Structure 1
């Protein structure tokens, strides 16, 4: 099987249409179709079935996709092992994180790893928990960090760290001056900013709402943690996140963090994860060790809101 067949196949498998694959690869759809046909002829099996306007992969296609993923990971490991055997500190490592953990990752990556291993190329992507799990499960990234990610059959949770959610508000907001832990029924009286669907933070808020039977329709929605913090700091309403995600704003006095009464918020955790059974290349293994020692210490302390 030549590499072009497999490259086109993987893009068709990912996009679900010949046209989508063609647009991504910058070629005509007919070129994609011919290459897939040649691959099917070579294997003697059908890889895709027509389904409405798109196509559906067959069981054999799923097997081939797994093979391609394993081959890509094996090739990467081989190249890294060769480099490691020659004591050359080079390589490439990709990390996918939720925006709320960006400062934590920056400290680990920039202050420690990049300084100690200048020959290693590092790529950091921002993504919600669901997308981060997909990227790790499909070997598009080596290491992931997310807030309470759901279980995934292809992903191993390496470490967790308590990261309770609190209510964030401007200093002059009524909830910032409230005594004791804040209940969702109190929050419901005010305008609220929430993350969009697909993020671990949004899922936790929805679970908390369900547990208390309280509806919190957002007045402002964004896929950016920074936008939620700006919204709250402007006094327009409140939002939910950890003190780690809003550390700078809390330290400067732009935001006040109040403990939330809900047990789901109190039990929130940051999770470090990798693909199950994947042997990470040396550079990724070393960065994982750095993250474990700096961001996920076994006996690390944390400071909660007042």
Structure 2
């Protein structure tokens, strides 16, 4: 086996590994499936090992394939770090930053990115994508994005939690809804008497609601489900039912009077936090490091106050 690895082999291998099928990789890369298969076979011959086992209509990576995928990811990160070190001489005037956030944090991120970072660094290409907590963790862990923000994301071996900020969940209802006029903190048993809108699976918000239900032994079957925070707020504001969210995510609607936020009694809701995270051991390029600093100072202040619902 020679020492060098063909870049085309690695590019095709990574796409097959990601998609789980030769056909899926071919569609993404815009080539025939036979071309993908031939390149993978050449890579296997070059390495003298089998990289994928066929399982039904798909393929499963071998242990060696997992090692090669880790190598490719580290190589990609190393190349980016090299370019970042060179770019340091230009003091964050150019570059590329990708941020992945939950929809509930979009307004906060927009203020940090648009009002501060993009205005000060117009030469930096910034991408902001929406994703649930699980998908955001995956994208950060696999170097598809530099910075992630999510609601109570689970621990991930490849991700470091840089900062957290209290973001308790409350019950959101239209002003004329019975719960909007209720006194004191709202219990889940009270919420269960009304129609409820919830996020779909895979989002930190939905996971917190499920944990709260389990802790109190209360079932809250949703009458409306969506992967959009905006849709949940619209549902509640229309008086169709209630939903759960932080006051930060619904700040505009609360300020306008379209929604009323009521404190939830459940301790899981009270302990909810926004979390800022990056990949463990990754040296961020200068532009991403600067944007991280902006987010830390604007969205995650060390002693920032948060106004809760009434």
Q: Secondary structure at the match of 1:141?
A: coil
With over 3 angstroms needed to count, the CA separation of the structure-2 counterparts of 1:267 and 1:31, relative to structure 1, is same
After superposition, what is the alpha-carbon deviation per residue over 1:32-61, rounded to whole angstroms, capped at 9, x for unaligned?
A: 100100111111111111122211111111
Q: Distance in 1 between matches of 2:92 and 2:153?
A: 35
Report if aligned partners of 2:171, 2:186 keep a CA contact under 8 Å in 1.
yes
Structure 1 residue aligned with 2:177, among 173, 177, 196? Answer: 173
After the TM superposition, list the runs of 4 or more consecutive aligned residues in structure 1 that deviate by more than 3 angstroms. Answer: none
Is 92-101 or 1-10 further displaced after alignment?
A: 1-10
What is the Cα-based RMSD across aligned positions, in Å? 0.8
Q: Distance in 2 between matches of 1:302 and 1:213?
A: 29
After superposition, what is the alpha-carbon deviation per residue over 1:237-263, rounded to whole angstroms, capped at 9, x for unaligned?
A: 000000000000000000000000000
Report if aligned partners of 2:92, 2:121 keep a CA contact under 8 Å in 1.
no
Per the TM alignment, residue 22 of structure 1 is displaced from its structure 2 partner at its CA by 1.1
Per the TM alignment, residue 88 of structure 1 is displaced from its structure 2 partner at its CA by 6.0
With over 3 angstroms needed to count, the CA separation of the structure-2 counterparts of 1:151 and 1:88, relative to structure 1, is closer
Per the TM alignment, residue 87 of structure 1 is displaced from its structure 2 partner at its CA by 4.0
Residue matched to 1:126: 130
With over 3 angstroms needed to count, the CA separation of the structure-2 counterparts of 1:167 and 1:276, relative to structure 1, is same
Q: Distance in 1 between matches of 2:106 and 2:148?
A: 12
Q: Gaps spanning 5+ residues in structure 1: where? A: none
After superposition, what is the alpha-carbon deviation per residue over 1:127-182, rounded to whole angstroms, capped at 9, x for unaligned?
A: 00000000000000000000000000000000000000000000000000000000
With over 3 angstroms needed to count, the CA separation of the structure-2 counterparts of 1:86 and 1:290, relative to structure 1, is closer
TM-score normalised over the length of structure 1? 0.99
**Is residue 2:93 matched to residue 1:85?**
no
Q: Gaps spanning 5+ residues in structure 2: where? A: none
TM-score normalised over the length of structure 2? 0.97
Q: Secondary structure at the match of 1:46?
A: coil
Within a 5 Å distance, the mapping from 1:40-55 to structure 2 comes to 40-55=44-59
Residue matched to 2:298: 294
After superposition, what is the alpha-carbon deviation per residue over 1:97-156, rounded to whole angstroms, capped at 9, x for unaligned?
A: 000000000010001111111111100000000000000000000000000000000000
Per the TM alignment, residue 78 of structure 1 is displaced from its structure 2 partner at its CA by 1.2
After superposition, what is the alpha-carbon deviation per residue over 1:191-246, rounded to whole angstroms, capped at 9, x for unaligned?
A: 00000000000000000000000000000000000000000000000000000000
Report if aligned partners of 2:167, 2:274 keep a CA contact under 8 Å in 1.
yes
Q: Distance in 2 between matches of 1:208 and 1:146?
A: 18
Report if aligned partners of 2:101, 2:148 keep a CA contact under 8 Å in 1.
yes
Q: Distance in 2 between matches of 1:280 and 1:26?
A: 31
Report if aligned partners of 2:87, 2:286 keep a CA contact under 8 Å in 1.
no
Q: Distance in 2 between matches of 1:81 and 1:113?
A: 20
With over 3 angstroms needed to count, the CA separation of the structure-2 counterparts of 1:87 and 1:151, relative to structure 1, is closer
Per the TM alignment, residue 86 of structure 1 is displaced from its structure 2 partner at its CA by 3.9
Report if aligned partners of 2:170, 2:261 keep a CA contact under 8 Å in 1.
yes
Q: Distance in 2 between matches of 1:79 and 1:252?
A: 46
Per the TM alignment, residue 25 of structure 1 is displaced from its structure 2 partner at its CA by 1.4
Q: Distance in 2 between matches of 1:262 and 1:116?
A: 42
